Amino acid sequence: MFCNVSCFPCSYKLPYLFAVVKLFNSELDIEIRSLTLVLNRPKYEVARANISHFSTQVRSHGDDQIIEGRLGSMSLLDLTPQGLLYRERFISSGHEALNFYMVR
C-alpha cells in the first residue's frame, strides 16, 4: 500500500508507516529547601504559608509512573487583624510531616 500524500520537497509515493509507540524511562528529582508564600491585601498581609525540606522523585518506566517523596515541615499563619489570638493555624512538628508513595 502506498500513501497519496505529496511530501515536500519531494513527491515520491511512500509506503504507509505504522505508528510506533516508543516507551522510554525518565526520572525527575525535585528538592526545595524552603518555600514561603505570602498572601497580602493593599494594607496588610493576610497569610503566610511555608514548606521546608521537600523532596520528590518522579520515575516513569513505560506506562508505569512512580511518585515518591517527603515533606519536612509546613506551617500556615493567619496574619489578619482578626487572627491576633491564634496566628498559627497549622504547624507540623518533627522532621517529617509527610511521606508519600504513589504508583500510577
Side chain identity at residue 8, one-letter code: F
**Is 1 inside any structural domain?**
no
Residue pLDDT, tens place only, 9-31: 555 555 555 555 566 789 999 99
**Is 82 inside any structural domain?**
yes
**Is 3 inside any structural domain?**
no
Q: Three-class SS of residue 10?
A: coil
Residue pLDDT, tens place only, 74-90: 999 999 988 888 889 99
Q: Is 0.75 surpassed by the pTM of this model?
A: no
Helix (H) or strand (E) holding 71: strand 64-78
d(CA 64, CA 30): 19
Q: Is residue 51 over pLDDT 70?
A: yes
Residue 39 and residue 45 in contact, taking contact as beta carbons nearer than 8 Å = yes
**Is 10 inside any structural domain?**
no
Range of the domain at 99: 25-103
* Structural domains of the chain, count: 1
Cis preceding linkage at 81, omega within 30: no
